[in-house]
Structure 1
């Protein structure tokens, strides 16, 4: 648990140091390309209608910590997050009509085996009356490199329904 909070502190510090005047558009770094590939893979899983356990295993570390707006206490561990992910997936449009997109909107802070990224997640919810997303979340993800690939070890979110 201490390691996760250290990772978060480093992520916030790194992101803070990287803020300032916008830089000229640059080609994505190898780490940014890996992060984009990870997000595209997660979008495919969500849109396919895969169950919560599949998405959770592909997205989170076993010792993940997640908190955000409306959460009374951080969720610790993959089992707690799987229950929350099941509720999130239930809020989405039916498989085949789901549309979720992760988009990095701020600087990406990376060091040996850790990536922190400020991200917007937009999704089309159950009962949406247009094809446009009606759920939007602002998320700080801290990814850790594992033998299975990049997995979220810390998440902090805010947002919800746009309607």
Structure 2
């Protein structure tokens, strides 16, 4: 597997070989779309390295990995049934979390920050979008988007059906 991580100023590459499978991952920290290419085949070496590389590029399949996007307030209202109590998941620091389904049937968690209770949340909101939009890890929920329409500060994540981390850590039965 060959991984390339690119930020605005640095790039990191790590390589390992898995028989019969080659893959390439590009991750941009500036919020650009990431692409993952994968191809199956023999990993035997060839005397014509440039020809082998060219044929790999031609046969690669690219899969688009979604990045966070601005989501309309109308779509969030529809997903959460107008922030209905039946869609409420939890009370969180400075707000409330709701679950729902976006127009593309993606199950999401909508974190509604209570701007009226704490104006300093604008900085926290901005930091959360900047930092979490860059992270990709199998143990983290993925940031899907945000909304700032109608004076709201909404952060949208993939919905995780597993228990909350605090429940797993502190309420083991």
- TM-score normalised by structure 1 residue count: 0.28
Larger RCO (CA under 8 A, 6+ residues apart): 1
Greater Rg over alpha carbons, structure: 2
More helix by share: 1
- TM-score (normalizing by structure 2): 0.27
